[in-house]
Amino acid sequence: MNDITAAIAGLKELDETVTRLGHVAALLEWDQETYLPEKAIEERSNQVAMIMGLHHEKVVDPSWESLFVELGYDGGGGPDGVDEIDNAFLRESYKRWKKKAKVPKRLVEEMARVTSISQAAWASARKADDFTAFAPHLRKVLDLEKEYALIVNPDADPYDTLLDEYEPGAKGDEIADLFDGLAAGLDDLLRKIQSGNRPPSSFLEKPYSVAKQNEFGKIVQQYMGYDTHRGRLDLSTHPFTTTLGPDDVRVTTRYDENLVLSGLFSNIHEAGHGLYEQGVGRSLRGTILADGTSLGIHESQSRFWENVVGRSRPFWNKWYPEFSRLFAENLETVDVGTFYRAVNQVRPSLIRVEADEVTYSFHIIIRFRLERALLAGDLTVEDLPEAWRESYRDLLGITPSNDADGCLQDVHWSVGLIGYFPTYALGNLYAAQFTRAMENELGPLGDLVADDRIGKVLGWLRKNIHSHGRVYLPGELCRRVTGAELDPGYFLDYLNAKYSEVYQPS
Q: Is the pLDDT of residue 210 over 70?
A: yes
Task: Give the model confidence (pLDDT) of 382-414 as tens digits.
Answer: 999 999 999 999 999 999 999 999 999 999 999
Residue 166 lies in a domain: no
Task: Give the model confidence (pLDDT) of 158-203 as tens digits.
Answer: 999 999 999 999 999 999 999 999 999 999 999 999 888 888 999 9
The 231-235 sheet, strands edge to edge:
231-235, 248-253, 241-245
Task: Give the model confidence (pLDDT) of 313-329 as tens digits.
Answer: 999 999 999 999 999 99
Task: Give the model confidence (pLDDT) of 100-151 as tens digits.
Answer: 999 999 999 999 999 999 999 999 999 999 999 999 999 999 999 999 999 9
Among candidate residues 158, 188, 211, the one where a domain is terminated? 158
Task: Give the model confidence (pLDDT) of 461-489 as tens digits.
Answer: 999 999 999 999 999 999 999 999 999 99
User: What is the total count of domains within the chain?
Assistant: 2
pLDDT band at residue 506 under the 50/70/90 scheme:
very low
Domain check: are 472 and 375 in the same one?
yes
Q: Give the contacts of 463 (CB within 8 A, at least 6 positions apart).
A: none
User: Do residues 450 and 456 touch, judged by C-beta distance below 8 A?
Assistant: no
Domain check: are 69 and 200 in the same one?
no
Q: State the pLDDT at residue 81.
A: 86
- The whole-chain average pLDDT of the chain stands at 95
Q: Is the pLDDT of residue 433 over 70?
A: yes
Residue 221 lies in a domain: yes
Domain check: are 95 and 206 in the same one?
no
Residue 367 lies in a domain: yes
CA distance 64 to 432: 40
Q: State the pLDDT at residue 349.
A: 94
Residue 276 lies in a domain: yes
Task: Give the model confidence (pLDDT) of 18-48 as tens digits.
Answer: 999 999 999 999 999 999 998 999 999 999 9
Among candidate residues 134, 158, 182, the one where a domain is terminated? 158
Residue 25 lies in a domain: yes
What is the percentage of the chain residues whose pLDDT exceeds 70? Answer: 99
Domain check: are 196 and 134 in the same one?
no
Domain check: are 215 and 129 in the same one?
no
- CATH number, domain of 185, equals 1.10.1370.30
What is the percentage of the chain residues whose pLDDT exceeds 90? Answer: 94
pLDDT band at residue 1 under the 50/70/90 scheme:
low
Residue 164 lies in a domain: no
- Decide if 386 is catalytic: no
Which CA distances in Å does 6 have to 36, 59, 64, 81?
A: 43, 19, 13, 14
- Which three-class secondary structure string do you get for 444-458? CHHHHHHCCCHHHHH
Domain check: are 402 and 485 in the same one?
yes
β-partners of residue 505 are 196
Task: Give the model confidence (pLDDT) of 261-273 as tens digits.
Answer: 999 999 999 999 9
Domain check: are 126 and 187 in the same one?
no
CA distance 280 to 46: 32
CA distance 450 to 340: 15
- For 28, the domain range is 3-158
Domain check: are 129 and 182 in the same one?
no
Q: Please give the backbone phi and psi of residue 251, each rounded to the nearest 5 degrees, phi first.
A: -120, 155
Catalytic residue among 270, 277, 357, 371: 270
Task: Give the model confidence (pLDDT) of 226-240 as tens digits.
Answer: 999 999 999 998 899
Q: Is the pLDDT of residue 505 over 60?
A: no
Residue 152 lies in a domain: yes
Among candidate residues 109, 131, 158, the one where a domain is terminated? 158
Which CA distances in Å does 193 have to 264, 307, 349, 400, 504?
A: 24, 18, 15, 23, 8
Domain check: are 114 and 191 in the same one?
no
Q: Beta strand 241-245 with 231-235: parallel, antiparallel or unpaired?
A: unpaired
Domain check: are 62 and 200 in the same one?
no
Residue 163 lies in a domain: no
Domain check: are 192 and 154 in the same one?
no
Domain check: are 303 and 437 in the same one?
yes
